Amino acid sequence: MDIKVLKTLLTERGEPAYRLAQAKRAFFVDLGASWDSLTNYSKPLREACQENIAWDVLKEVRTVISEKGDTVKTLFECRDGQMIEAVLMRHDDGRNTVCASSQVGCAMACAFCATGTMGLKRNLAIPEIVEQVIHFSRWLKPKGEYVTNLVMMGMGEPFHNYDNVIAALRQLNDKDGLNLGARHMSISTCGIVPGILKLADEPLQVNLAISIHAGTDEVRDKFMPVNKAYPLAKLMDAVHIYMEKTNRKVMFEYLLLDGINDRKSDANALARLLAHDHRLSHVNVIKYHPTEAFEPSPRENRMAFVEWLEERGISATHRVTFGEDIDAACGQLAVQEAEGLVKQGLEAIRAKRESKK
């Protein structure tokens, strides 16, 4: 539902202000399925809303559940025919985290990420971001559960759609809406410095996660083109400003690639990079989920990497993997309708790597 358009329609019709709050409650709290669920609206008003505003802007195309039952992935069709994916992760401690997308595809072209091989189609609108969370809220409701956390770590670079992402998070945080706490929301970026600096001044106190994946420019340049525009020195300067202004911890995501960034020297380089701000830094060491571009670092290497960081005084954990069997894990989101394009992209990556040997 487009709340902004609804507010305009209600104002133009001279409706009282509480009508907007009624619609928000029906959509975000009661999780109604259509305009017909707004029984406190008159029939003419419901018809006017239905004629001008789609209750849902996303259509569920396919939902798959992991073998363990802890991960649910849904493919959505937007009203213009574009496809996106979102994931629900169900934790053992009762948390239910939605991993939502901010764009159709992604322009960042990180070599380890399936989404990047799709290229960028367009930014998602505010309702398209919000409704990924509402979809899983509806899915959980019959089970007596609800969404507790949101991470903007799905398809796309959130800071390239900054305004819509922040507006969507505000709607989800709204006490008259889903009332999801800001501290339970996280935005993950591959290192877009202007976005980090804007977030530092953002009144909405959401968390920041950075996909860093290397402690030196030499290594990061191998698989993250963004590092050319925002090398590690510029990135860490922005992170330092963010920490100074917010006093909030930053999560650094580190995907381990066999023989590329998983050696003790790599851990030492990362520790040196984070030493200045180690009090507010935490590293999530992540298993690489194969998209054929690289080989995953063995588990013993991943656990050793965590130990090496901790020996250097850096807080670190090995992040639990969700949904690898349904291509729902970190770096695996790429709609099946784009499989041919994904395959072409991966083949190009492999050919480039072979030519450098």
DSSP track, 173-237: H-TTTT---GGGEEEEES--HHHHHHHHT-SS--EEEEE---SSHHHHTTT-THHHHS-HHHHHH
The model's pTM: 0.88
Among the options 85, 128, 131, 253, which is catalytic? 85
Predicted local confidence at residue 231, as pLDDT: 98
Q: What is the pLDDT of residue 292?
A: 64
Residue 327 has pLDDT above 80, yes or no: no
Q: How would you label 216-225 residue by residue, b for 16+ Cβ within 10 Å and e otherwise?
A: beebbebbbe
Quote the CA–CA distance of 340 and 143 in Å, as a whole number. Answer: 37
pLDDT band at 284 (very low <50, low <70, confident <90, very high): very high
Indicate the range of 64-68, 135-139, 169-173, 281-285 predicted with least confidence.
64-68
Pick from 81-85, 102-106, 219-223, 352-356: least confident: 352-356
For 58-356, CATH gives 3.20.20.70
67 carries an active-site annotation: no
Per-residue model confidence (pLDDT) at position 113: 85
* DSSP 3-state of 163: helix
The pLDDT confidence band at residue 351, using thresholds 50, 70 and 90, is low
- The topology (CATH level 3) of 1-55 is DNA polymerase; domain 1 (1.10.150)
Where does the pLDDT of residue 290 fall: very low under 50, low under 70, confident under 90, or very high at 90 and above?
A: low
The region of weakest confidence among 200-214, 245-259, 291-305 is 291-305
Query: Taking 90 as the threshold, does the pLDDT of residue 326 lie above it?
Result: no
Helix (H, G, I), strand (E, B) or coil at 247: coil
Confidence class for position 332, pLDDT limits 50, 70, 90? very low
pLDDT in tens, 179-238: 999 999 999 999 999 999 999 999 999 999 999 999 999 999 999 999 999 999 999 999
Q: Tell me the sheet residues that pair with 97.
A: 89, 149
* 221 token code pair: 């340049």
What is the percent of the chain where pLDDT is above 70? 88
Which pLDDT does position 328 carry in this prediction? 44
Confidence check: pLDDT of 311 > 60: yes
Which of these is catalytic: 99, 106, 110, 330? 330
Question: What are 19-28's pLDDT values in tens digits?
Answer: 999 999 999 9
How many angstroms separate the CA atoms of 332 and 120, rounded? 16
* pLDDT at residue 52 tops 60: yes
Is 310 marked active-site?
no
Tell me the domain boundaries of the chain: 1-55, 58-356
